A and B are shown apart, each in its own frame.
Chain A
């Protein structure tokens, strides 16, 4: 029943604030994990430091809170266009931590040290999702690295 003017108005309004073009992909990536019973960690803080004027200076610190634990990560830009993720689990625990990527890239799994620290190095930019294994496991929303 809309005439051309209605359609023009609505199509212009649609362009005012559309969802990010990759929102569906981010959701589907986050949902494609095996452990559906995992607790969901909420992003609770995000902070950028460094001027970013030189490669390797800019870092981003993100904190995720779940009911059972807190995961804090710092994403550091490397000069070779990869990133390093320095992470920390609280309470401290030598838990297994996985970093998932969109298929077909395989997930990486490492074990945190006894103080809860872990490192993923030489990580490519793009989507990734952290999972801390345990009872229960904890997953983050997908991260745009």
Chain B
């Protein structure tokens, strides 16, 4: 963790350093341009040779740093990078001080340009370093003013700009030193506080991200365990049911001896209850499996194939009923992106319901159309329909319409799962039904779903 933060910090500083090198080229240009402008346009007398030499010096060390950074091996020690930053900063301060010295010292208004330096360093190396630097700047500049005042260093006035020798005025020097120093320190304080806050925030974010990643991994692991558990329970619950059903079949078929009518009737009752239990388990397991699946298994699907598979699976539910089944699919319908198993489940459920609740002689239609970017599918029947009062609740878990609750077996889970699946795919489902006439379930799915 610590190492990673260090690495991030190193990368951050390195990036800033590169940017500073880039900016420094402009500084060199600016110095030269400003000097030329001052001499030629404002007719100020400057020690241009000295100034150009300083500019050349800055350009030279800037080039040196550029090369150094370019050939720096990856994965450096952050301490090395920080030292580099300090050296650059010191060279900048020295250059600027020398420039100020050759261009009027305390009389040069450009002394306040030090503030840029202060801000940059404050962002780059927030902390003690910035205050030390502020101290160095202040003492160098104050030292320069005092030396020139005392005559220890020669004063180079800007002739034609300020000819009154203000550098000899102690009150002015004291005032400007005080304002300058306080400006530098206050700027340092502000920059460092903001930068440190940002840095802390960044660190927190990185830690949060790490925590989230950890939590996500844990969730994935739980998900896997849950899937395994559901599969295991599913097998363990269904296996004994299949054995019971097989044994009852053997008894009913008279393979274990003659079965009289009364016993046969009782066996049939048992059989029906077992069948219900089997469906109930299956629906419950589907519910837990589908509802808790965190990811859809999206693939390109040919909706015709999906419907054919679903019809084939539920065809036995048509039983001996004489039902007319028609399937109509728009030829131009492109492949849709959806979860194959879940789509089969949706059609299976809707078609099985249509078969279940439609009497012999009735009709069941399946119609799929494309409308804009949507696929619209409809499963319609001429069945018993749904009472108006039940329609708003029909997609609720365990809800069963009042006209079927006693007469037909069912768990009331199928439609709630269908709706859940459609909504997870970004679609909507609706129902239109008239009691005694039939029902129509209509759903839409986006054809190109984002995965």
Asked whether A and B interact, the reply is no
Please list the residues of chain A having a beta carbon within 8 angstroms of any beta carbon in chain B. Answer: none
